[in-house]
């Protein structure tokens, strides 16, 4: 049985990974003693004992953990849930559905960097359109991403849950308004865009769930491109994918009383993509669980590929 160590097991992502590994049932989870969580020597022991190490740590700590591999250890594989290695040389981006070669690249790799939650929804929505030539690489793209507060980790979770009675955090809040959010490098790199998008993340008073929305002006694209063509390109790209669905074009079934439910993929590893709009303007929306396909679910999906398990083991479709 493969051995797995979650370095950062008490963080939000680490706890979610452990939950999925418990449902997996085909790996042995190594645990570090609570009092030794920051003991580098003990962490090094577990890292070198494990077949797979999940890094659920701040960026610098993730980089440090990789250096703890003993000389000659070519067995231990890393899956990094931090931002540290997402565009780094020698690391494979952990998004199997990105293109025809990505799944095989993950299977063959010993160093995989899991997507950021906002980035997962954005890249899945935009990359196929750039690859198909429908969206120019220099398109001045904008993205708004609505997320639950669990994406901010323990500090933000505590702040929101402490404010329940005061209602101080009831309204949605934009953040990263310097437009330098840490997900931007991967959002540009893995879509093929020549410029970073104007990206505005928004946190709201719900625990988890995410809706990543990208508005497009058809007049700024090649002549003859329609929302139906955009939908068809996405549907063709994701045909046969287990965890990415392209929903019916403009169907009433996509809405609830005319409104979009950002929480409908919660507790799954699914990313649903929608195309709304009219003959002039289009809105592409990705919906996912920011703790699922946007973090822990994606990490376990990558582990399954790297160890030869069924891709969906331990994951809800």
How big is the CA angle at 281 (ends 174 and 272), to the nearest 5 degrees?
Answer: 65
149-162: b or e for each residue (b if 16 or more CB lie within 10 Å)? Answer: bbbbeeebbeebee
Residue 29 main-chain phi, psi, to 5 deg: -90, 120
E strand spans, the chain: 2-7, 27-30, 52-55, 77-80, 92-94, 111-114, 142-148, 173-174, 198-204, 210-217, 244-246, 271-277, 281-288
Residue 142's contacts (CB-CB under 8 Å, 6 or more residues apart) are 197, 198, 199, 200, 214, 215
Angle between helices 12-24 and 153-162 (to 10 degrees): 100
Q: What separation in angstroms does the CA of 70 have from each of 74, 103, 110, 154?
A: 9, 28, 15, 32
Pair of tokens at residue 30: 């190594």
Residue 147 main-chain phi, psi, to 5 deg: -135, 155
- Catalytic site residues? 117
Contact 58/70 with Cβ under 8 angstroms? no
Neighbours of 200 (CB within 10 A): 17
Pair of tokens at residue 12: 């939000």
Pair of tokens at residue 131: 């690859």
């Amino acid at each position: 049985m493969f051995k797995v160590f979650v370095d950062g097991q008490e963080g939000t992502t680490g706890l979610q990974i452990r939950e999925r590994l418990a449902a997996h049932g085909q790996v042995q989870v190594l645990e570090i003693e609570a009092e030794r969580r920051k003991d580098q020597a003990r962490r090094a022991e577990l890292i070198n004992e494990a077949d797979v190490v999940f890094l659920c740590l701040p960026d610098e700590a993730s980089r440090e953990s990789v250096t703890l591999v003993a000389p000659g250890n070519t067995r231990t594989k890393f899956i990094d849930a931090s931002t540290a290695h997402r565009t780094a040389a020698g690391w494979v981006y952990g998004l199997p559905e990105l293109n025809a070669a990505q799944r095989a690249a993950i299977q063959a790799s010993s160093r995989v960097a899991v997507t950021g939650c906002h980035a997962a929804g954005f890249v899945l929505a935009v990359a196929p359109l750039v690859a198909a030539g429908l969206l120019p690489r220099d398109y001045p793209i904008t993205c708004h991403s609505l997320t639950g507060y669990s994406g901010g980790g323990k500090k933000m979770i505590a702040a929101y849950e402490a404010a329940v009675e005061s209602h101080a955090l009831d309204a949605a809040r934009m953040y990263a308004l310097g437009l330098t959010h840490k997900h931007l490098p991967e959002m540009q790199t893995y879509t093929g865009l020549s410029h970073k998008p104007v990206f505005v993340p928004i946190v709201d008073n719900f625990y988890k769930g995410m809706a990543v929305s990208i508005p497009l002006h058809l007049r700024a694209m090649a002549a003859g491109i329609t929302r139906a063509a955009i939908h068809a390109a996405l549907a063709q790209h994701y045909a046969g994918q287990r965890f990415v669905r392209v929903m019916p074009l403009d169907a009433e079934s996509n809405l609830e009383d005319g409104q979009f439910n950002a929480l409908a993929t919660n507790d799954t590893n699914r990313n649903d993509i929608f195309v709304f709009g009219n003959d002039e303007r289009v809105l592409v929306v990705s919906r996912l669980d920011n703790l699922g396909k946007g973090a822990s679910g994606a990490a376990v999906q990558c582990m399954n590929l790297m160890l030869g398990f069924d891709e969906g083991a331990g994951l809800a479709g």
